[in-house]
């Protein structure tokens, strides 16, 4: 497997395309509008809420100019009743606006998370090798949440501000055109301030998202590897890494706070200037008798209604920038095209006999040196094939190519004469069983772990597979037997127990082809004996590839392939290779020397 990112400070992904900002918002809006009925109802509630707000200054004008100035008491009664009705109506419409905005935003977040997770599942190992679990978690959580918050609060606020601004200008123009022109003259200043802050906040929000992902990476690595951290005495080093990531995020937030804090006084100053302009020009017209006092009060009331939304422009700009940054990070992954695609017209794959051919196969990980070079060999059905070689010689990579986790760079791999690239990956992998050195178990019951990937398996079949894998006895000794829940990644079980459960899982699938990647490397002698009994049951009658240095397994192999620097340098049986000078004999001699030194150290 290729080397993953080291424990150095995590950086944003390289190589993932970032869509243009306007494309991001357009695509998010398209997803948001996927429920047109709810969207239209939310828009209607927003319009009615703004209309109710705009009606209040007009009612005050009627009270001052007609009810008080002309001493018409009935106007006061009517205005009071209308004001009460408008207030009640606004309460209902405001509730509908906020509720529907929440529903639409949560639907958008659900769709984004669902598509993101499904797309990550479709990515090949070639793409996943470039990604980090912690960063993917940040994109699926923090970035989706940034999008949701904008569409829940930011977009409705922006729409209400646009409607309120337009309605205010129309109302003022109907009441007093000069007051409307004074108000309109201040609008470019508001827009300029908002755009200026937004332009400065956008790159900072992108940094926030990147640093949040980096912080998640450090946290995920530290928690997942907490045993290694403690065993190595690296708690302080991990704490320093977390502190540096948290400090970098904090610095960006402080810079954002600087711009947002500067924005509010500027907007307040502009509002005060606009209000002063209306009072100055309107007051002179009232004194001159060309404008009623009610009209002036209504004009200042309309401008006052704009004050609160305008003061939230900096908040709105920051939220929009964060949404845009989060959307960019999500679409960067969603737009990644899997390099491994199913064939347009997949060929049916009958039950395999198990004949495997490598024909001049070469492979290199993206951007790396070749790992396998012109490898050719043939394995007959039912044969046991051992892969031997120094670390990094390409043994595990070869196993990854058979189920098509990666595609070969040149040459081809055939199963029973069928090129693996002409078969649907799911159909191919259903007939392949894999047992790795560190088997993966899920935080669920032992029963579910054995039957993972299979639906409706009878319990008797699960028990039979566990017995064949030498696992039934220890399972029944657990508190709840097969219903016992294992810890995350199976940490509540020993290495040998996890290995036997993985073998039981493979047995239950009844594969025709087995891939065993050093399945007994880290086991003690007693546990290894049990696992080898389980492996014997698993390998019976199946074509098997196993990476191993165990002499007993090498002696049982029908064919041994010896690799060095990605090249197949020797092949034959154990007896044949012992008679030949070469790498196999040297590796075996080194293995025996290491074993004897271990025994002597143990006896001492």
Tell me, what's the pLDDT at 427? 87
Count of Cβ atoms closer than 10 Å to residue 72 Cβ? 14
Decide: 558 and 573 in contact? Cβ < 8 Å.
Answer: yes
What is each CA distance from 124 to 120, 121, 332, 440, in whole angstroms? 9, 8, 16, 18
Which residues, in sequence order, are CB contacts of 460 under 8 Å at separation 6+? none
Distance between CA atoms of residues 2 and 268, nearest Å: 57
Confidence at 301, pLDDT banded by 50, 70, 90: confident
Per-residue pLDDT, averaged over 118-128, amounts to: 81
The alpha-helical segments, DSSP class H, found in 65-143 are 73-122, 125-128, 133-138
Per-residue pLDDT, averaged over 7-36, amounts to: 67
Confidence at 103, pLDDT banded by 50, 70, 90: very high
Burial 456-484 (b: 16+ CB within 10 A, else e): ebeeeebbebbbbbbbbebbeebeeebeb
Tell me, what's the pLDDT at 604? 40
21-334 is a CATH 3.40.50.300 domain: no
Tell me, what's the pLDDT at 411? 93
Decide: 411 and 362 in contact? Cβ < 8 Å.
Answer: yes
DSSP code of residue 485: B
Tell me, what's the pLDDT at 465? 86
Q: In a 3-state reduction of DSSP, which class is residue 438?
A: coil
Evaluate if residue 519 carries a pLDDT over 70: no
Beta bridge partners of 286: none
What is the residue extent of each domain of the chain? 21-334, 354-431+514-522+542-604, 438-510
Confidence at 398, pLDDT banded by 50, 70, 90: very high
Decide: 148 and 156 in contact? Cβ < 8 Å.
Answer: no
Query: Beta strand pairing status for 543-547 and 384-388?
Result: parallel
Tell me, what's the pLDDT at 264? 66
454 burial via Cβ count (<10 Å: 0-12, 13-18, 19+): middle
For the residues of 158-179, what is the DSSP string, one character each? HHHHHHHHHHHHHHHHHH-HHH
Confidence at 92, pLDDT banded by 50, 70, 90: very high
Name the residue with higher pLDDT: 400 or 340.
Answer: 400
Tell me, what's the pLDDT at 232? 57
Tell me, what's the pLDDT at 598? 46
What backbone phi and psi angles, to 5 degrees, belong to 550? Answer: -75, 125
Per-residue pLDDT, averaged over 133-158, amounts to: 87
pLDDT tens-digit series, residues 206-262: 777 777 777 777 776 666 666 556 555 667 777 787 788 888 888 887 877 776 676
Decide: 8 and 244 in contact? Cβ < 8 Å.
Answer: no
Per-residue pLDDT, averaged over 167-177, amounts to: 77
Evaluate if residue 86 carries a pLDDT over 70: yes
Mean pLDDT check: name the lowest of 171-180, 336-345, 575-584.
171-180
Distance between CA atoms of residues 29 and 588, nearest Å: 64
Tell me, what's the pLDDT at 13? 42
Distance between CA atoms of residues 468 and 569, nearest Å: 36
Is 438-510 in the same CATH topology as 354-431+514-522+542-604?
yes
Highest mean pLDDT among 6-20, 158-172, 555-569: 555-569
Distance between CA atoms of residues 262 and 251, nearest Å: 17
Q: Tell me the Ramachandran region of residue 360: left when phi exceeds 0, alpha when psi lies from -120 to 50, beta otherwise.
A: left
Of 18, 319, 23, residue with least CA distance to 145: 319
Summary mean pLDDT of the chain: 79
Name the residue with higher pLDDT: 310 or 123.
Answer: 123
Mean pLDDT check: name the lowest of 283-287, 482-486, 571-575.
283-287
Per-residue pLDDT, averaged over 194-212, amounts to: 71
Distance between CA atoms of residues 134 and 4, nearest Å: 13
Tell me, what's the pLDDT at 528? 66
Confidence at 96, pLDDT banded by 50, 70, 90: very high
Tell me, what's the pLDDT at 599? 43
Of 409, 227, 195, residue with least CA distance to 320: 195
Highest mean pLDDT among 30-39, 54-63, 371-380: 371-380
Evaluate if residue 376 carries a pLDDT over 90: yes
Per-residue pLDDT, averaged over 49-78, amounts to: 76
Number of H helices, E strands in the chain: 22, 10
Structure tokens at 113: 């998370």
Per-residue pLDDT, averaged over 526-552, amounts to: 77
Distance between CA atoms of residues 555 and 34, nearest Å: 63
DSSP code of residue 490: G
Mean pLDDT check: name the lowest of 199-213, 399-413, 495-509.
199-213
Domain 354-431+514-522+542-604: give its CATH architecture. Answer: 3-Layer(aba) Sandwich (3.40)
For the residues of 25-81, what is the DSSP string, one character each? HHHHHHHHTT-HHHHHHHHHHHHHHHHHHHHHHHHHHHIIIIIITTT-HHHHHHHHH
Burial 293-327 (b: 16+ CB within 10 A, else e): ebbbbbbbbbbebbeebbebbbbbbbbbbbbbbbb
Evaluate if residue 288 carries a pLDDT over 90: no
Tell me, what's the pLDDT at 359? 94
Percentage with pLDDT > 70 across the chain: 83
CA angle (25, 29, 35) in 5-degree steps: 165
Tell me, what's the pLDDT at 50? 87
Structure tokens at 146: 């940034």
Decide: 410 and 360 in contact? Cβ < 8 Å.
Answer: yes
Distance between CA atoms of residues 92 and 295, nearest Å: 29
Structure tokens at 64: 């001052």
Tell me, what's the pLDDT at 357? 95
- Fold for 438-510, please state it: Rossmann fold (3.40.50)
């Amino acid at each position: 497997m290729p080397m993953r990112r080291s424990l150095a400070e995590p950086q944003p992904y390289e190589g993932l395309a970032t869509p243009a900002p306007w494309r991001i918002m357009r695509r998010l809006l398209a997803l948001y509008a996927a429920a047109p009925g709810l969207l239209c109802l939310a828009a209607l509630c927003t319009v009615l809420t703004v209309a109710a707000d705009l009606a209040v200054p007009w009612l005050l004008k009627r009270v001052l100019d007609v009810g008080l100035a002309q001493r018409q008491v009935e106007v006061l009664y009517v205005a009071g009743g209308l004001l009460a009705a408008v207030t009640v109506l606004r309460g209902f419409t405001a509730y509908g606006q906020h509720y529907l905005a929440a529903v639409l935003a949560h639907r958008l977040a659900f769709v984004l998370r669902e598509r993101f997770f499904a797309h990550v599942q479709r990515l090949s190992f070639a793409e996943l090798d470039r990604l980090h679990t912690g960063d993917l978690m940040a994109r699926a959580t923090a970035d989706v949440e940034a999008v949701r918050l904008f569409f829940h609060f930011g977009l409705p606020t922006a729409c209400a501000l646009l409607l309120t601004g337009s309605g205010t200008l129309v109302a003022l123009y109907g009441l007093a055109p000069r007051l409307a022109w004074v108000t309109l003259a201040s609008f470019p200043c508001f827009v300029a301030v908002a755009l200026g802050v937004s332009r400065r906040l956008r790159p900072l929000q992108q940094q926030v998202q990147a640093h949040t992902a980096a912080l998640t990476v450090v946290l995920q690595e530290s928690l997942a590897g907490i045993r290694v951290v403690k065993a190595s005495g690296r708690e302080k080093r991990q704490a320093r890494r977390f502190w540096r990531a948290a400090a970098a995020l904090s610095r960006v937030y402080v810079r954002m706070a600087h711009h947002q804090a500067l924005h509010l006084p500027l907007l307040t100053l502009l509002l005060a200037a606009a209000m002063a302009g209306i009072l100055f020009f309107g007051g002179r017209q009232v004194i001159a008798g060309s404008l009623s006092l009610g009209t002036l009060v209504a004009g200042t009331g309309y401008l006052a209604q704009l004050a609160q939304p305008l003061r939230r422009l900096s908040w709105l700009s920051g939220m929009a920038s964060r949404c845009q940054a989060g959307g960019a990070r999500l679409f960067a992954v969603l737009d990644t095209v899997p390099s491994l695609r199913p064939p347009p017209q997949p060929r049916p794959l009958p039950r395999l006999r198990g004949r495997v051919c490598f024909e001049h196969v070469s492979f290199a990980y993206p951007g790396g040196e070749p790992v396998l070079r012109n490898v050719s060999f043939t394995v007959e059905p039912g044969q046991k094939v051992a892969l031997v070689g120094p670390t990094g010689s390409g043994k595990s990579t070869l196993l990854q190519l058979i189920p098509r986790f990666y595609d070969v760079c040149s040459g081809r791999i055939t199963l029973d004469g069928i090129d693996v690239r002409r078969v649907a990956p799911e159909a191919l992998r259903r007939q392949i069983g894999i047992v790795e050195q560190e088997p993966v178990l899920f935080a669920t019951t032992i029963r579910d772990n054995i039957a993972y990937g299979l639906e409706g398996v009878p319990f008797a079949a699960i028990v039979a597979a566990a017995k064949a894998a030498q696992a039934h006895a220890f399972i029944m000794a657990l508190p709840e037997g097969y219903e016992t829940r294992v810890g995350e990644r199976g940490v509540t079980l020993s290495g040998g127990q996890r290995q036997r459960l993985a073998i039981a899982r493979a047995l239950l699938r009844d594969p025709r082809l087995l891939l065993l990647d050093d399945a007994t490397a880290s086991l003690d002698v007693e546990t290894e004996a049990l696992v080898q009994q389980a492996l014997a049951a698993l390998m019976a009658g199946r074509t098997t590839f196993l990476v191993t240095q165990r002499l007993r397994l090498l002696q049982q192999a029908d064919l041994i392939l010896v690799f060095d620097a990605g090249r197949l340098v020797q092949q034959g049986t154990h007896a044949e290779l012992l008679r030949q000078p070469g790498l196999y004999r040297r590796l075996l001699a080194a293995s025996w020397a290491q074993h004897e030194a271990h025994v002597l150290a143990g006896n001492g």
